[in-house]
Amino acid sequence: MELDLVQDLRKRVDTKKGVLILTHERPDIDALGSVSGLGWVLSEAGIPFTLEIEDWGHYSRDLIPKSESVCPEIQVLLDTSEPSRVFGYRSDLEVFVVDHHPQETVRFSGVIDTSCCSTSALLAKLVRPYLDSKSSTCLLAGLLSDSGVLTYSNTNEGCVSMAIALLEAGADWEKAYREATKICGWEQAIRIGHLLSRVKAYAPGVYMLVVSAEERTRMKFTDSDFSLALSLMQWIGDGRLFVTVRENPRHGVVNVSLRSRGTGKALELAKALGGGGHRMAAAAKLRQELQLVVLRVTELIEGLEREQTSILGRVTPEDEQLAELLEKTAFLSTGVDKNALSTIRRLVVDGADPERASWLARQDIDLLAIHELGQWLTSEAPGRKPHTFLESLVFRQVDEDCPA
C-alpha cells in the first residue's frame, strides 16, 4: 500500500507544532516545485509548516505558499537526503526524506524511488488525494524541469502518467511549462545569449562552456543563466555530452555541471571529479584553479569512446510518431492537453524512447545554430521577433513579468 504522506505527518506532528520543509542548496525547479507543492498540500490539510529555502530565484511568487511561524517537530527533506547539502538542516529534529536520487546508504526514514523522473513526481504520488490546482501546478513544473519536458531518458510510462494525473487535478500546463523553462526577462535572455556564443566543441558530440570569475563578474552571469544555457546547449542534435565549467568569484570554487544523452557519462565524469548526481545529469564542485579544472575535464572527455549519433540506438516507428508530436507542439510548449499526453504514454508503452524521439526532432540543429541563437538574443532590438524554430522556442520562454 502506497504511503499517504499527509496522514503520516498528521500522526507525527502535534496540532500546535508543525513541519519544517527543506531542500538542497542552490535549489532547482524540481526542488522548488516539491517544496511549494508540499506546502500548499499541508496548508489545505491544516497541518502547520514553515519553509526555509536558500533562494527562490525567479520562481513565481504566486506559487509560493505562505510560510507559518511554527516550532517544528519534524523536518522533511525534499530532493536530497544529504544533510551537508540541505539549507537550514537541524540535527535536533526527526528527518523524513522524499527523493529520487540513488543513495548508497539510507540514513533516514522516508521514500526514495530512483524510478521516478523527479522528486516532484514522487511526492505527487504520496499526496495525490490532496492535490489541487496550485499544488499540482507546482509539482508539474518540477516534473517537467527534471524530465526535460518529457524528453530526457528518465521519461517513462510512470512519469507521463503522473503528468496526466496532475493535469486532471487542475494543473495549469502552460504555467508549469513556463516555470520549468523560464527566462526572466530580456536582460537575462541577453546574458544567456552571451553564454551560448561561448560554447565550443571539445570532441565529437561533446560541447563545453567555460567562464572565468572575471568574466562572470563583468557580465553579471547568474547560476540561473548557466542552468538555462546548459539546457539550450542540449538542443545540439549530435551532442552526447554537455558541460559548463564556471568559476565562482565569491567562494573560490569551480562548479562543473554535466548533462549527457544516450550512453553519455555525466555521472561517471562527475564522480571522477568528486561529485555526483543522476546518470544523465550530474555536477561537481572543485577548489582548484579554473584552468586546472578545465584540463581535468578535457582529459576525462578525451578518455570517452568516440561515439556517433547512433548512440541512441535503432529508430522505431513509435519514435518517429513521437517526434512528429514533439514538432507539432513545439516540444510540448504549446497545444498540450490530456489527449496529447495520453498519446505520448501510449507510444512510450509501445516502445517509443522520448530521448530518441527528441533527438530525431532536432537532429539538424548544430553548434552554428546555437551560436546564431546567441547572436539573436544579444541583438540590440528590444522588440526582436523570432524567425527560426529555436528563436521561437526561446521567445516563448521569456517572461517579462517574472519577479526580479
Domain boundaries, the chain: 5-181
Name 11's Cβ contacts closer than 8 Å, sequence gap at least 6. none
Would you give the DSSP letter of residue 197? T
Q: Which residue has the cell 500546463?
A: 173
Phi-psi category of residue 346: left, alpha or beta, with phi > 0 → left and psi -120 to 50 → alpha: alpha
Task: Name every residue whose Cβ is closer than 8 Å to that of residue 194 and which is 6 or more positions away in sequence.
Answer: 219, 221, 374, 378
Contact between 221 and 215 (Cβ < 8 Å): yes
- Please say whether the dihedral angle defined by the alpha carbons of residues 135, 137, 142 and 144, taken in this order, is positive or negative: positive
Q: Is there a contact between 256 and 244 (Cβ–Cβ < 8 Å)?
A: yes
Q: 3 with 126: CB under 8 angstroms?
A: yes
d(CA 402, CA 395): 14
pLDDT at 307: 46
% helix, strand, coil for the chain, step of 5: 45, 15, 40
Q: What's the rounded Cα separation, in Å, for the pair 140 and 63?
A: 12
Residues 6+ apart with CB under 8 A from 41: 6, 127, 130, 131, 135
Answer yes or no: are the C-beta atoms of 209 and 245 closer than 8 Å: yes
SS3 358: helix
Give the Cα separation of 104 and 139 in Å (integer).
26
Residue whose cell numbers read 539546457 = 231
Closest CA to 377 of 198, 228, 194, 193: 193
Q: Which residues contact 379 (CB under 8 A, 6 or more apart)?
A: none
pLDDT, block means (10 residues), the chain with 404 residues? 87 82 94 98 94 93 91 94 92 94 80 94 97 98 96 93 98 96 93 97 93 95 93 91 92 91 82 86 92 93 60 84 95 94 98 92 94 91 80 90 71
Q: What is the pLDDT of residue 348?
A: 97
- Give the distance, in angstroms, between the CA of residue 243 and the centroid of all CA atoms in the same chain: 15
Q: How far apart are CA 86 and CA 93, in angstroms?
A: 13
**CA–CA separation, 98 and 118 (whole Å):** 10
DSSP state of 86: B
Helix or strand or coil: residue 157? helix
- Under DSSP, the state recorded for 326 is H
Task: Decide: 248 and 26 in contact? Cβ < 8 Å.
Answer: no
Bridge-based pairing of strands 200-203 and 183-184 is unpaired
CATH pick for 5-181 out of 3.90.1640.10, 1.10.287.1080, 3.60.20.10, 3.40.190.10: 3.90.1640.10
Confirm whether pTM is higher than 0.85: yes
Which three three-digit cell numbers place residue 121?
513526481
DSSP letter for 205, please: T
**Phi, psi of 43, rounded to the nearest 5 degrees:** -60, -45
Selection from 92, 90, 76 nearest residue 127 by Cα = 76
